[in-house]
Amino acid sequence: MTFALTPLPHGHTLLSLPSPGLRIATFLIASSAMLTGANAQILLRNPAQSGTVSAVVQTEQVRAELLAHAPDGVDAGKTIWVGLQLKHQPHWHTYWKNPGDSGLPTTLRWTLPAGVTAGDIVWPTPQRIAIGSLANFGYEDTLLLPVPLTVGNDFKPSFGGMLEFGLAANWLVCRQECIPQEGNFVLKVPAKGSTAAQGADFEASRRASPQAHAGTAQATVSGETLTVSIRGLPADWIGRALQAFPETPNVVEPVSAPQASDPMAVATAPKPAAQDWNNGVWTGRFVLSAQRESTPTNFPVVLALGTQSLRSVAAISGTWPALPGGAGNAPAGGAIPVAAGAVPSNSAGTGSAMTASLGMALMAALLGGLILNLMPCVLPVLAIKVLAFARHGEHSRASHRAQGLAYTLGVVLSFMALGALMLGLRASGEQLGWGFHLQSPVVLAMLATLFTLLGLNLAGVFEIGSVLPHRVACMQARHPVIDAFLSGVLAVAIASPCTAPFMGASLGYAISLPGYQALGIFAALGLGLALPFLMASWVPAIGNWLPRPGAWMDTMRRFMAFPMLATVVWLVWVLGHLTGVDGAGALLALLLTLSLLVWSLNLDGRSRIVFASISVAVLIGLTGAIGPLVLRMDDTAANPAAAVATPNSPWQAWAPGKVEAELAAGHPVFVDFTAAWCITCQYNKKTTLGSAAVLADMRRHNVTLLRADWTRRDPAITVALEALGRSGVPVYVLHQAGKPPVVFSEILDTQALRSALATL
């Protein structure tokens, strides 16, 4: 495993205050800016994995190893075989290229030297894994996913005559619960020697992979059924029941074989595809998937009998029915036009679905950023900016305007920097969404430290002039424009946990656009957030509404320490969801010791030396002893699924395929996509979603309530959000069989939700 440090150009820094102070936090947040790039890597690692790169990654569920088979060495024109071997613990499994009703396939991303190219995974034939009424396709026990590497004429071995290559792999391992994991691997193969120790493993994988079928195949779409006919199958297969594994996800329903002892599963499970034989021709009839998103021209399918398997590709004829999203009929293989970036309709609430118009998306982003100023996470920064602005007598009108422009620039550039980082990581294959940095203990700990220093300074515990050289401490007074810029950066840092109406749809649309257009939407969000202060700095009449400077400003400044310290409480609570009680307690101990150090630096004479020395020694000792607890992800900490599925709670934990299973059983489904670090989510949870009237309506209409907790990184939830045209939380969705999902506003309105429920 490896962690890469990627500096963030415009990191979280410092806000402007009505007194010279807090410049020390600039150093802290500059470090946080650099670690934000690292965090984007760190948060993706499985906690059981080590911090070193090797050929083996071991977790509690899987032992993953990168293998190679090059018995004749590595020469130009040759093909060698490499592969990821997964050894599952009993009852755990990973997934095939088509995972079935739920799950995600294993993905491999290679880092290869010049002159070497990688082919596709040669997938072994999967097995059918039934979980309740769901049918999944995957693997248990030991699996090897082989990939051919072709060596070109321009390949040159590295120092020592080696072929060195790397692999970044992601897999989802499941039992009843699912855990996304990943590993970074590096392996060296001697160019002139023989690498054949794993030959038996590659041979076993080859035998387990389907062979190409030499016969003919055809498929016909009629109504909601796809009929496949295959000729030329082995003579000893004729008349026998075959296992069929469609390769393309979400075209036809996976077939399941529920246990006879589970009558509910038998009643609700999709019926197996009918198959029969006629004059040696096998015919299978598949029900089209309710999640179908395309009209393919061919139908690749693997047929298996015992340990034998064949892969056949049938050309599709006929007319496809309308897609579940509501598009009209199209010939098989024809493209059904869909507006670029379109998301499900929103017939309830104010956050209407984005259209293909970039202009409308930019306007919606601007409006969403403007509304973001009213969110509770942004109000403390605005209050402090008002305090600073109230000192209008100390600066000229030109200075005020320059500060307004600098604040706006800080906000816009910070929004664009976070957006660029998210888009860049997504382009590299990571499943990330807005707020991804708050899924990392590193960033949470850095922000908690920053806001502790902010609170102590506002409360008057210390002034920077007493702990830093005078030239540094006076930076604010000499450079008010720089302070305004840093204030804008900080505003984005603490605004990122919030999502305002219109903002979610804008971000969801942005990730589907080319990079420069997507960054334009992030810039529009930032402009909307900065607009009130920009207007106040340029329109004197707005500044005249504010009271004149006076003693009230010092009182207000000290009062503002409490919202800052309340932010620390919230950040530590979120950290506890990732690292457990031990991690949260360790961070509190470190913050307490840091506060003692800051207080001691404000003393005079010998007392300052004594208390500061003790504080530094204790802080260093605690950092070494309990600091790792703050950054260590804990799988047992505040398990979201366990927190949801309590005996007295109407909510169940969301899982891939669960919505479809409930719809198949005739139940409408309401899904709450949430996270502990999302303040808007917590507000909606305590108000609308906690309303007795709303819950009574849910029970009356037999609605299944599912909660998808995104506090920790979860690729399955990220994929589900993308399917709804969103990239962050909160998202609230009402599903009903045969109808497109209804996506509600980020600020969930009780009346809008009850009105939608009344139509069920």
Q: Considering only CA atoms, which of 494, 545, 455 is closest in space to residue 373? A: 494
Give per-residue burial for 94-112: e unless 16+ CB within 10 Å, then b: bbbbbbbbbbbbbbbeeeb
d(CA 291, CA 104): 15
DSSP state of 705: E
Q: Is residue 650 a contact partner of residue 700, using CB atoms and an 8 Å limit?
A: no
What is the phi/psi pair of residue 500, to 5°?
-100, 165
Beta-bridge mates of residue 109: 168
Residue 382's pLDDT is 61
Interatomic CA distance for residues 657 and 344, integer angstroms:
18
- Phi and psi at residue 226, to the nearest 5°: -115, 115
Spatial contact of 78 and 72, defined as CB atoms under 8 Å apart: yes
pLDDT tens column, 580-606: 788 888 899 999 999 998 888 888 778
Per the CB < 8 A criterion, the answer to whether 231 and 215 are in contact is yes
Contact between 261 and 276 under an 8 Å Cβ cutoff? The reply is: no
The amino acid sitting at 208 is A
* One-character DSSP codes across 101-151: TS----EEEEE--TTEEE----PPP-EEEEETTEEEEEE-SEEEEEEEEEE
What is the rounded CA–CA span in Å between residue 406 and residue 388?
14
Give residue 304's Cα distance to chain centre.
Answer: 36
Q: How far apart are CA 2 and CA 536, in angstroms?
A: 47
- Tell which residue, 683, 660, 654, has the closest CA to residue 736: 660
Closest CA to 571 of 588, 592, 559, 558: 588
Q: Please state at what angle helix 379-390 crosses helix 561-600, rounded to 10 degrees.
A: 80
- Rounded Cα–Cα distance for residues 289 and 333 (Å): 16
What does the DSSP assignment read for 658-688?
HHHHHHHTT--EEEEEE-TT-HHHHHHHHTT
Whether the CB-CB separation of 70 and 80 falls below 8 Å is answered with yes
pLDDT of residue 272: 43
> Which residues contact residue 200 at a Cβ distance below 8 angstroms, ignoring those fewer than 6 apart?
none
The low-confidence residues of the chain, meaning pLDDT below 70, are 1-54, 132-133, 159-160, 176, 255-273, 324-358, 375-396, 422-423, 425-439, 463-479, 493-515, 540-550, 552-553, 633-648, 677, 727
CATH fold group of domain 71-195:
Immunoglobulin-like (2.60.40)
> How far, in Å, CA of 533 to CA of 412, rounded?
13
- State which CATH number among 1.10.540.10, 3.40.30.10, 1.10.10.10, 1.10.3210.10 fits the domain covering 640-758: 3.40.30.10
Beta strands 669-674; 704-709: pairing state: parallel
Are the beta carbons of 753 and 694 closer than 8 angstroms? yes
Q: Could you count the other beta carbons within 10 Å of the beta carbon of residue 451? A: 25
Interatomic CA distance for residues 364 and 757, integer angstroms: 27
Question: Tokens in use for 578?
Answer: 């990732």
Strand, coil or helix: what is 193? coil
In this prediction, residue 389 carries a pLDDT of 58
pTM: 0.43
Please name the amino acid found at residue 187: L
Through-space distance between the first and last CA atoms of the chain, rounded to whole angstroms: 50
d(CA 436, CA 442): 12
Residue 504's pLDDT is 57
Residues 6+ apart with CB under 8 A from 387: 17, 18, 553, 556, 557, 560
CA–CA distance, 82 with 120 (Å, rounded to integer): 11
Q: For residue 395, what is the DSSP state?
A: S
What residues contact residue 590 under an 8 Å CB cut-off, 6+ apart? 619, 622, 623, 626, 627, 630
Q: At what angle are helices 441-458 and 24-42 packed, to 10 degrees?
A: 160
Sheet of 127-131, strands arranged across: 94-100, 134-139, 127-131
* Domain extents in the chain: 24-46+347-631, 71-195, 224-320, 640-758
Whether omega before 730 lies within 30 degrees of 0, making that bond cis, reads: yes
Q: Where are the beta strands (DSSP E) in 629-698?
A: 651-653, 669-674
For 566, the 3-state DSSP assignment is: helix
Cα–Cα distance, 470 to 464 (Å, whole number): 9
Judge contact between 280 and 297, C-beta under 8 A.
no
Q: How much is the pLDDT for 381?
A: 62
Which residues lie closer than 8 Å to 353 by C-beta, 6 or more apart?
342, 343, 344, 345, 346, 505, 725, 743
CB 587 within 8 A of CB 627: no
